[in-house]
Amino acid sequence: MNRLRKYRIVLIVVLAVELLFTGYFYIYQINAGIPDSIKVYVGDNSSFDFSMPVEANLQGSVEALNISNATKRDNGQIHFSMQQPFTVQSSQKGRYRMNLKLFGLFNLKSVSLDVIDNLELIPCGNTIGIQVQTDGLLVLGTGAVKTVSGLEYEPAYQILQTGDYITGINGNKVSSIKKLEKYLNNSDDDYVTLDIRRNNKESSVKLQTVECEDGSVKIGVWVREDTQGIGTLTYISGDGHFGALGHGITDSDTGILMGIKSGKLYNTEIIKIIKGSSGSPGEIMGMILESDSEVVGTVENNTELGISGTISDNVDISEYKYGSIPVGLRQEIKKGPAVILCQLGDEIEEYNVEIIDIDKGSTDNKGIVLQITDERLLEKTGGIIQGMSGAPILQNGKLIGAVTHVFVQDAAKGYGIFIENMLER
């Protein structure tokens, strides 16, 4: 009898855990399916269809706002359901706060509704060379060093860690490996004080120095001061700013998003196209043309959603085929045909793709899933390859996003970022 009772208790516990997990996953899916920020254009009638059991209460000065199937409350709030399709229209710019409740009972989250002016950007698609200098020396790792006597020490062990930035030594700023080595070798003390930045917080640490067999002084740390690579320019705005890549520049060894001090974009000369295949991503191989006359822009920001900065006076925007075109917001994107712009030779060309999935709630760089359908591109590259990150995605005459990642096991498929996410710099 006791055994049967224990068995029942175990079954009840297992069932309770399964119900809790199912409920949590269900709520998570609903929460992730609604973006934290919804944007609409002034004067447009924007349609939404979340099909989720969520009730919204919208606050603010709502006189200029019209939401279909909504009801106004005495306190001036607008109440409507996201279970059914709805439209939003406003005659003036503004920001509103929407409080969402699951089944109209449980608080889910708060979402902003932004009514903005119509946006236009110039879609680009040309290959660019990117060079950036880190904001401090990026720590890749620590290790042991051998002293004059042949003993090994690891002075930085558990003091510095991968992802730290060394910004100074003994009160002196350092921006290069040569300067770090210079200050170490000129130090008369057995210890040095390093200024570091970890998780955006500044602090100082003290390290013992080691005199090595070759007479140099070391602290047992590997650092990086710059990086470079090939990517694609996504857009140029009317005020002379650009966006590119659709994902951040990360360190090739650690995968950490790099904090940058400065950087430049250059024109490139494409040397070779390495075709991608299942399990083996391809690559655009090019030579970065490092001269003042070949500068495309100055890199000012590096985030998970791409790089941005100011375009150079060297760039003739009239050479871009499309000129300024409207920006398509996430609710305007549809599954079906689209095109991407990219450069694999001397010219920027247009290639056909199919949008096969859309995550309307995405806040990262994987909101769009696309498949290359253009036989010309498949013949040249096998699909999406390294260097195509940032290739603009166009649909129905609007710039809607940029290519960001390739599916390693299927080079014909990959992810794209919503252009409105790229603009959140």
151 CB burial (10 A radius; 0-12, 13-18, 19+) = exposed
Residue 188: predicted pLDDT:
80
Taking residues 253-277, report their average pLDDT.
Answer: 92
Model pLDDT for residues 312-345, shown as the tens digit of each residue: 998 988 889 899 999 999 999 999 999 999 999 9
Taking residues 157-165, report their average pLDDT.
Answer: 92
Angle of CA points 100, 105, 107, to nearest 5°: 40
Model pLDDT for residues 357-411, shown as the tens digit of each residue: 999 889 999 999 999 999 999 999 999 999 999 999 999 999 999 999 999 899 9
Angle of CA points 20, 22, 27, to nearest 5°: 95
The CATH homologous superfamily for domain 144-219 is PDZ domain (2.30.42.10)
Q: Would you say 351 and 394 are in contact if contact means Cβ atoms under 8 Å apart?
A: no
What distance in Å separates the CA atoms of residue 192 and residue 86, rounded to the nearest whole number? 63
Task: Tell how strand 210-211 and strand 217-218 pair up.
Answer: antiparallel
Length of the chain in terms of residues written: 425
Model pLDDT for residues 105-147, shown as the tens digit of each residue: 889 899 999 999 999 999 999 999 999 999 999 999 998 888 8
Task: Tell how strand 106-116 and strand 37-41 pair up.
Answer: parallel
C-alpha distances in Å from residue 404, one per residue of 22, 25, 335: 32, 27, 18
Strands, sheet with 86-90, edge to edge from the N-terminal-most edge strand: 45-48, 86-90, 65-67
Rg of the chain taking only CA atoms, in angstroms? 27
Residue 308: predicted pLDDT:
97
DSSP 287-301: EE--SGGGEEEEEEE
Protein fold of 33-118: Immunoglobulin-like (2.60.40)
Residues in Cβ contact with 132 at an 8 Å cutoff, skipping those fewer than 6 apart: 226, 227, 228, 249, 258, 260, 261, 262, 263, 264, 299, 302
Residue 4: predicted pLDDT:
74
What distance in Å separates the CA atoms of residue 400 and residue 229, rounded to the nearest whole number? 25
pTM: predicted TM-score of the whole model, two decimal places: 0.89
Residue 1: predicted pLDDT:
53
Share of the chain above pLDDT 90, in %: 61
The dihedral formed by the CA atoms of 168, 199, 364 and 309, expressed in degrees to the nearest 10: -20
Paired strand residues for 260: 134
Residue 185: predicted pLDDT:
87
Phi, psi of 225 (to 5 degrees): -115, -15
Model pLDDT for residues 283-293, shown as the tens digit of each residue: 999 999 999 99
Q: What is the DSSP letter of 79?
A: E
Domain ranges of the chain: 33-118, 121-131+229-422, 144-219
What distance in Å separates the CA atoms of residue 232 and residue 28, rounded to the nearest whole number? 34
Model pLDDT for residues 186-219, shown as the tens digit of each residue: 888 889 999 999 998 999 999 988 888 788 888 9
Mean pLDDT across the chain: 91
Instruction: Classify domain 121-131+229-422 by CATH architecture.
Output: Beta Barrel (2.40)
